[in-house]
Homo-oligomer: A and B are copies of this chain.
Amino acid sequence: MPHVVILYSGNLEQEADVALLCRRIADAMLTVTDEQGAAVFPPGGIRVLAYPAAHAAIADGGEAGRAAGGNGDYGFMYVNLRMGRGRSDEVKRRAGEAITSAAKACMSPAMERMLMGLTVQVDEGQEVFDSKTSTLHPLFSKARG
């Protein structure tokens, strides 16, 4: 926690630099602060994973797009942040806005070229069991210490 999972139709792989998108979203998360100006996400806890789908079906499958003079190819990208419980509404909003801005900046050329949807949602994890082990966190605690 926190982690971002990006699910998207495989045809976007050629339309956008998704590795760069992951980095931009991670960078955006590093900048999110709470009402007191403190960083919301510990650097060692920021993780973004992206998955192109092997198969996809979107909307009507292309009919309306072809009728409108296009090639009927549609895209979809879903960006989901799961964050820990107990943050203020303002912090959730800031996190969501930061990720949305990063995602839109990366995806806007693709969105201009093709018909696609981009959804960003933030979930508060409701886990009933939670275990974290990390050899990465201490690196940043040390750096800060």
Contacts and interface: CB of A to CB of B under 8 A. Distances in A.
B131 A120 contact: yes
A73 B111 CA distance: 32
Contacts of A92: 128-129
The copy count of this chain in the complex is: 3
B117 A137 contact: yes
B96 A129 contact: yes
- With most chain B CB atoms within 10 A of its CB, the pick from A44, A52, A56 is A56
A112 B134 CA distance: 10
A57 B26 contact: yes
Interface in A7-57: 7-9, 13, 18-19, 21-23, 25-26, 30, 43-57
A128 B124 contact: yes
Interface of A: 1, 3, 5-9, 13, 18-19, 21-23, 25-26, 30, 43-61, 64-65, 67-68, 74, 76, 78, 81, 89, 92-93, 95-97, 100, 104, 111-112, 114-137, 139-140, 142-143
Given A5-B7, A21-B55, 13 more contacts: A3-B76, A23-B61, A48-B56, A50-B55, A50-B56, A65-B139, A97-B131, A104-B133, A115-B136, A117-B135, A121-B125, A122-B127, A122-B129
